[in-house]
Structure 1
Amino acid sequence: MTIALGTLEDLPADYRKSMEEVHVSPLWPALRNLLPLHRPIAVTKSSLWSFGRIRPLVLRAGELTPIEKAERRVLVLCDPGRGTAFPQATATIYVGFQLLLPGEHAPAHRHIPSAARIIVEGEGAYTTVNGEKCAMHPGDLILTPGGMWHEHGHEGTEPVIWLDALDVPILAYLEGSYREEGKPQIVPSRPDGSAVEYSQAGLVPSRHYRAPRPNYPLLRYPWERTEAGLRAIAKHASSSEIAELEYINPETGDSCLPTLGFTAMMLLPGRVARPPIRSSSAVFHVIHGSGRSTVDGEILAWKSGDTFSASVFAEVEHIASGTEPAFLIRIHDAPLQQKLGFYEERPRS
């Protein structure tokens, strides 16, 4: 039985004023919110961001604000539970649509937060990360880990839009977020690692014993390989299984970034996917296809390019509509929770 604790209003006004003057506060009025029973009290409110509605705003940003005045031209997806004053989709995940127009160059910088890009539409753009040039194609996942120099350029003829995903809320909360500005990088005339050293699954470059391994050996994860892998899994999966692939560091098997995880999903039409209840929050981005998801009883209908969120311990169901499968990428903070020792999965009732 939970006992009701005293409130701030129970205390005399002069006592409350005296506490304010010396910058202290009583714990007991806030204790139930800090340590709720059985599960956290989520501030995050599940939401769906329609790409069809946001895309015109992203393109208009290109007309209104030149890249020189923006550095990174992004429209941030803001959690309705917090409001637009807070640039984050969940407590730990920042996502936003970024636009690069033909001929533009977003200057080199590096920052403490780790980032990844999911390419939404367009061809001809690229990201250079620590001297490695990564071409952007729809569906690709490209990493820009914390502390690594990166810049964006566009050699094509059409606008390119991608979805940024960063752990900024974590670093901002820890008062550890900052950036440094750099010079344009020298790019060798060779393909990125996904086409050379890490082009074959299960194989990594041979190294002399004790030779150091790169922290982030693979920076670009081509979508065509990811989709092929999902289709192969789905062909042999049982009716209760979801075809999923984790984006990992091929040298260590760890998540591709230290705080954020990325999971590619394939949903078959007419088959309801009911994943376990997870302690991690999540943002889902639709690569292609259509369907609907139920998040804590709220139905979210989505299609290609859309993005939606789920708070911690949310009950989630997915189903693809029509006759074709749907492909999504789930961005989540399970790697952070696992490192802190409190990641949890609960069975569905």
Structure 2
Amino acid sequence: MTSTVPSDRTGDDLTGDDMTGDGAYREMAELGVGALWRHLGNLFTTEPISRAVPFHWSYRALRPYMLHFAGALSIEEAQRRVLMLVNPGLREQSATATGLYAGIQVILPGEQAQAHRHTSNAFRFIIEGSGAYTTVAGERVHMHPGDLLLTPGWRWHDHYHEGDGPMMWLDGLDFPLVNALDTGFFELYPETAQPASVPDGLSSRQFIHGRLNPAWVSERTVSSPIGNYPWVETQRAFESIADSAAGSAVDGVLLEYTNPWNGGPVLPTMSCRIQRLAPGFRGAARRHTAATILHVVRGEGTTVVDGEEFHWAEHDVLTVPSWASYQHVNSSRSAAAMLFSYTNEPVVRALGLYREQLL
């Protein structure tokens, strides 16, 4: 479609007030044109300015709402019964941090969450409960508190709870990024549940040994092939390190869940890590260009984000925007604190935009 200059005028006709007043700008806007000199300061800032703000969600405050809707809203009505953790600065995107989303999901005994798939990558970090499992691409993966379960993009997945009491977990997805790139697809499975086609937990049993991987598996996927990084293995890793390792001055003893094929992040858009803050730990301050979401596995403490103190307790969630300074403090003299976190660092690094600074 060919555009014409408003009022049937050409550029040669613009004189006097038309060239210096708002009239020319209004007419250019109708042509889909903007004046760079009016926006230069907003487009090229001296340092990152994040729309996301530091924010803290109390699990103790949210849990009653989870239980309320578990009783008031059926799984058939909701399909996924989730409380979204929406950053005040990112409400339009329903995002928790730039490019990242967090939510808390609950499923009750006997419930089956409809099978579906989407291009967004996802994971589940289990908070509480027992007896539930998720089926991902035909593999039933059982849930236990502290487990990290992966659902790479475009894999069929559904959840079933055959135990007692509510099952709750933290959902992490990259759909804010996928939607921003206009690359999101979604599809419901023809049935409520997909059939199991491989032995339960096979992927974890084949790959969790670290340096010994199955040589007969030829596909080297960009996402980790491990369905579940079980808490018992994570706990064993920390116990073997104990207090022998100095760890990071910023993050204490920090471990990363990795893809056994390449040693990189478990998902191409999200890096997942877990850290132990020793009793009395007071971390150095740092900032970096990766947005971060933290989940408290155990313990209590404080994280100072851009000078604002956020006091956290077990199962709370905290977001640290890109280029915001942060500092972790465990004031307990007797108990260690443990934090699970995920970031958009793989994307930032892939674009050559990662930068960090100790403060």
* TM-score, with structure 1 as normaliser: 0.91
Mapping 1:187-266, distance limit 5 Å: 187-188=196-197, 190-193=199-202, 195-207=204-216, 211-215=218-222, 216-238=224-246, 241=249, 242-266=252-276
**What is the CA distance between 1:275 and its match in structure 2?**
5.6
Higher alpha-carbon Rg = 2
**What is the CA distance between 1:343 and its match in structure 2?**
1.1
Query: Is 1:274 aligned with 2:284?
Result: yes
1:56 match: secondary structure: helix
**What is the CA distance between 1:342 and its match in structure 2?**
1.2
Q: Are the counterparts in 2 of residues 234 and 243 from structure 1 also a CA contact under 8 Å?
A: no
Q: Are the counterparts in 1 of residues 248 and 254 from structure 2 also a CA contact under 8 Å?
A: no
Distance 2:108 2:220 in 1: 36
Residue deviations 1:120-162 (CA, integer Å, cap 9, x gap): 1111111110011111111111011101111111101111111
Q: Aligned partner of 2:112: which letter? A: H
**What is the CA distance between 1:240 and its match in structure 2?**
5.5
Residue deviations 1:227-284 (CA, integer Å, cap 9, x gap): 2212333421227542011111112212100001111110111111226421101000
Query: Is 1:54 aligned with 2:62?
Result: yes
Query: Is 1:342 aligned with 2:353?
Result: yes
Match of 1:14 among 20, 23, 47: 23
Further displaced range: 158-167 or 22-31: 22-31
Residue deviations 1:45-89 (CA, integer Å, cap 9, x gap): 100000011111111121222111111111110112234x44111
Further displaced range: 237-246 or 48-57: 237-246
Q: How many residue pairs get matched? A: 335
Query: Is 1:34 aligned with 2:43?
Result: yes
**What is the CA distance between 1:203 and its match in structure 2?**
1.3
Distance 1:236 1:194 in 2: 31
Q: Are the counterparts in 2 of residues 234 and 266 from structure 1 also a CA contact under 8 Å?
A: no
Q: Aligned partner of 2:100: which letter? A: I
* TM-score, with structure 2 as normaliser: 0.89
Q: Are the counterparts in 1 of residues 255 and 275 from structure 2 also a CA contact under 8 Å?
A: yes
Distance 2:180 2:221 in 1: 28
Distance 1:275 1:145 in 2: 33
Q: 1:199 to 1:81 in 2, by over 3 A?
A: closer
Q: Are the counterparts in 2 of residues 231 and 266 from structure 1 also a CA contact under 8 Å?
A: no
Query: Is 1:327 aligned with 2:335?
Result: no
Match of 1:136 among 108, 120, 143: 143
2:146 match: secondary structure: coil
Q: 1:275 to 1:259 in 2, by over 3 A?
A: farther
1:236 match: secondary structure: coil
Partner residue in 2 for 1:290: 300
Match of 1:71 among 48, 71, 79: 79
Match of 1:88 among 82, 88, 95: 95
Q: Are the counterparts in 1 of residues 293 and 320 from structure 2 also a CA contact under 8 Å?
A: yes
Q: Aligned partner of 2:274: which letter? A: A
Q: 1:27 to 1:243 in 2, by over 3 A?
A: same
**What is the CA distance between 1:214 and its match in structure 2?**
4.8
Q: Are the counterparts in 1 of residues 204 and 227 from structure 2 also a CA contact under 8 Å?
A: no
Q: 1:11 to 1:124 in 2, by over 3 A?
A: farther
Query: Is 1:314 aligned with 2:321?
Result: no
Query: Is 1:103 aligned with 2:110?
Result: yes
**What is the CA distance between 1:188 and its match in structure 2?**
4.3
**What is the CA distance between 1:189 and its match in structure 2?**
6.6
Distance 1:220 1:189 in 2: 14
Further displaced range: 338-347 or 138-147: 338-347
Residue deviations 1:26-54 (CA, integer Å, cap 9, x gap): 222222122101x2111111000000111
Q: 1:277 to 1:60 in 2, by over 3 A?
A: same
Q: Are the counterparts in 1 of residues 121 and 174 from structure 2 also a CA contact under 8 Å?
A: yes
- Ranges in structure 1 where 5+ consecutive residues have no aligned partner: 1-9
Q: 1:40 to 1:100 in 2, by over 3 A?
A: same
Q: Are the counterparts in 2 of residues 33 and 41 from structure 1 also a CA contact under 8 Å?
A: no
Distance 2:89 2:287 in 1: 20
1:336 match: secondary structure: helix
Distance 1:321 1:179 in 2: 45
Q: Are the counterparts in 2 of residues 76 and 87 from structure 1 also a CA contact under 8 Å?
A: yes
Residue deviations 1:195-247 (CA, integer Å, cap 9, x gap): 52124232111238xx3335532011111211221233342122754201111
Distance 2:204 2:306 in 1: 41
Q: Are the counterparts in 2 of residues 269 and 319 from structure 1 also a CA contact under 8 Å?
A: no
Distance 1:138 1:12 in 2: 64
Q: Are the counterparts in 1 of residues 208 and 229 from structure 2 also a CA contact under 8 Å?
A: no
2:243 match: secondary structure: helix
Partner residue in 2 for 1:3: none
Distance 1:265 1:78 in 2: 24
